[in-house]
Amino acid sequence: MIVQRVVLNSRPGKNGNPVAENFRIEEVNLSDNINEGQVQVRTLYLSVDPYMRCRMNEDTGTDYIRAWQLSQVVDGGGIGIVEESKNINFTKGDFVISFNWPWQTKVILDGKSLEKVDPQLVDGNLSYFLGAIGMPGLTSLIGIQEKGHITAGSNQTMVVSGAAGACGSLAGQIGHLMGCSRVVGICGTQEKCLFLTSELGFDAAVNYKKGNVAEQLRELCPAGVDVYFDNVGGDISDAVISQMNQNSHIILCGQISQYNKDVPYPPPLPPAVEAIQKERNITRERFLVLNHKDKFESGILQLSQWFKEGKLKIKETVINGLENMGAAFQSMMTGGNIGKQIVCISEETSV
């Protein structure tokens, strides 16, 4: 059987910006036979995420993320439907998810790498398992629970950078749900600012491309900042940190402004900002959601419940077609998405 797949065509270089041409699509033959323990699946949705930028380098700089290999199939978060199974845990028609799903229209996978998902948790919106009711949702929820130190009723102000992205758009809403009295988002367009305040319930939003971020924050956070959900790093974070209160907390989710630079993670703060952090006893610890797998099950149920109750609004930017994976990745890295960036490979959910 002939299938299409996406392979890594070239590397952007440690300090380069990724482009669609770093990927190429090709046709390969998929075996007609599957072995014991394996399943053949048809891909429905694939995820593109900021962390993948380091997988484009020869060395990812971390021990828990593998680099993609040149001319080899690219992989990441994916969801699909089982078409044939020789694994006792899966039957034809099951919906399954994996975080190492090859960017391929159909694929034969070891059942051990797959997890069955229940469409009822997402009211049939299967792609949500790659976003709000999946890893980005868990990252936001567990990050806030573990590192945010929010106490309901104590008038805390939360600031979220990258606020219109996959994690940021959820983090602000979760901050409110857990008791923050004020949530301010930072993003890069007026459209995104309006989306945050009119649809997601943020109290205010700052467009960092217009005007002085520090001045706008001073105005919008008169009582200072108690919790900072940091998706971007760089100058924006420096401006937020300088307005944080004594004994406040940074949730270090991502540093997208630094991903195209060869710097350690988390990147060091400039000396003046580091001095403020130490002086005010602001916590800034690396947060890895994979270290909290014991909270995944309860976290997914909580996110699903909030979604079903209408308390957690979910936004996606969907691009269609495997041939557009590279374009979707480039767009996501430059802020072209609102909410989670998803690529739809097939919408046919029956076998």
Contact between residue 229 and residue 171 where contact means Cβ atoms under 8 Å apart: yes
d(C-alpha 60, C-alpha 49), whole Å:
15
DSSP 8-state class, residue 74: -
pLDDT at 251: 95
Question: Measured at the alpha carbon of residue 254, what is the angle toward residues 251 and 256, in degrees to the nearest 5?
Answer: 145
For residue 287, the surrounding DSSP H or E stretch is: none
Strand order in the sheet with 157-161: 204-207, 182-187, 157-161, 225-230, 244-252, 283-286
What is the rounded average pLDDT of the residues 280-298?
Answer: 92
pLDDT in tens, 212-242: 999 999 999 999 999 999 999 999 999 999 9
Composition of the chain by helix, strand, coil, percent to 5? 30, 30, 40
Decide which of 83 and 261 is more confident: 83
> Is 217 among the domain residues?
yes
Question: Measured at the alpha carbon of residue 240, what is the angle toward residues 237 and 245, in degrees to the nearest 5?
Answer: 135
Query: Whole domain around residue 69: which residue ranges?
Result: 2-131+315-344
pLDDT at 260 over 70: no
The token pair at 321 is: 């077609």
> Is 44 among the domain residues?
yes
pLDDT at 166 over 90: yes
d(C-alpha 306, C-alpha 39), whole Å:
33
> Is 143 among the domain residues?
yes
What is the rounded average pLDDT of the residues 63-72?
Answer: 93
Same domain, 57 and 110: yes
pLDDT at 168: 96
The token pair at 280 is: 């005010």
pLDDT at 266: 78
Question: Which of 85-99, 203-217, 233-247, 248-262 bottoms out in mean pLDDT, i.e. has the lowest?
Answer: 248-262
User: Among positive and negative, which fits the CA dihedral 268, 271, 274, 278?
Assistant: positive
Same domain, 152 and 87: no
d(C-alpha 129, C-alpha 126), whole Å:
6
pLDDT in tens, 52-61: 999 999 998 8
SS3 category, 82: strand
pLDDT at 62 over 90: no
Burial class (CB in 10 A: 0-12, 13-18, 19+), 172: buried
SS3 category, 173: helix
> Model confidence at 261, in pLDDT bands (50, 70, 90)?
low
Same domain, 144 and 280: yes
> Model confidence at 324, in pLDDT bands (50, 70, 90)?
very high
What is the rounded average pLDDT of the residues 115-130?
Answer: 98
pLDDT at 264: 66
What's the mean per-residue pLDDT of the chain? Answer: 95
Same domain, 110 and 170: no
Same domain, 48 and 162: no
> Is 305 among the domain residues?
no
> Model confidence at 258, in pLDDT bands (50, 70, 90)?
low
* pTM of the predicted structure, to 2 decimals: 0.94
d(C-alpha 113, C-alpha 153), whole Å:
43
CB atoms within 10 A of CB 93: 12
Is the preceding omega at residue 266 within 30 degrees of 0, hence cis? yes
> Is 304 among the domain residues?
no
For residue 246, the surrounding DSSP H or E stretch is: strand 244-252
pLDDT at 290 over 90: no
pLDDT at 278: 98
SS3 category, 340: strand
CB atoms within 10 A of CB 348: 8
> Is 178 among the domain residues?
yes
What is the rounded average pLDDT of the residues 67-77?
Answer: 97
